[in-house]
Amino acid sequence: MSEGAKAAESGISNPMREVRIGKVVVNMGLGEGGEKLEKAMTVMKSITGVKPCPRKAKKSIREFGVRKGENIACVATLREEQAEDFLKRAFESTKNRIKSSCFDDYGNVSFGIKEHINLPGTKYDPLLGIFGMNVCIVLERPGYRVARRSQRPGKIGDDQRVGKEESMAFMKDRFGLTIIEEE
């Protein structure tokens, strides 16, 4: 189905105004490498279905025993249907509720999951342990690639960016989330 047909179905007159999920980034920061990192990477692969990439420490912190260049975290990036499937499970673990402070002014949503076993369909394995993770969602409109392309990148106008209210409305419509307002 073309972008125009999708926009016509959803009631949007201009297909370039449609909000969509650009990517979902899942991050597990451990603060140490070795066997614990290998276990975390195994857990992340089983949860996301994507092979995670290790991330190195940017600087040495003597108090925490972290050396610059040492692998201390792992990250997986999900796109399209994999991202939607993962988000449905992730929002179920948060009981389809999210705070309004999780949304920023540029169409990004970030929240945390304290224990990976809260995700539906995930079982506890005593050999691996329990890990928490951060989930970051990037919302964008068609045409945003202009800013990211390597040859002749352009600037994106403020009208083309996704705002906080638009991203909240998108998440409510697409995933049925309840957004908790904070005082």
Least confident of 4-8, 46-50, 72-76, 104-108: 4-8
Q: How many CB atoms lie within 10 A of CB 58?
A: 10
What amino acid occupies position 35?
E
pLDDT band at 66 (very low <50, low <70, confident <90, very high): confident
pLDDT of amino acid 53: 92
Angle at 125 between CA 123 and CA 126, to 5 degrees: 145
> How does DSSP classify residue 155?
P
pLDDT band at 2 (very low <50, low <70, confident <90, very high): low
103 φ, ψ (degrees, to nearest 5): -100, 140
> How does DSSP classify residue 58?
S
**Tokens 């106008």 belong to residue:** 157
Strand segments (E) across 10-130:
20-29, 53-56, 71-78, 97-99, 108-113
With a cut of 90, say whether residue 11 has pLDDT above it: no
Q: State the Cα–Cα distance between residues 153 and 145, nearest whole angstrom.
A: 8
CATH superfamily, with its number, for domain 17-26+76-180: Ribosomal protein L5 (3.30.1440.10)
pLDDT digits (tens, 9 = 90+) for 26-56: 999 887 778 888 999 999 999 999 999 988 8
Q: Are 135 and 92 in contact (CB under 8 A)?
A: no
Q: State the Cα–Cα distance between residues 86 and 78, nearest whole angstrom.
A: 8
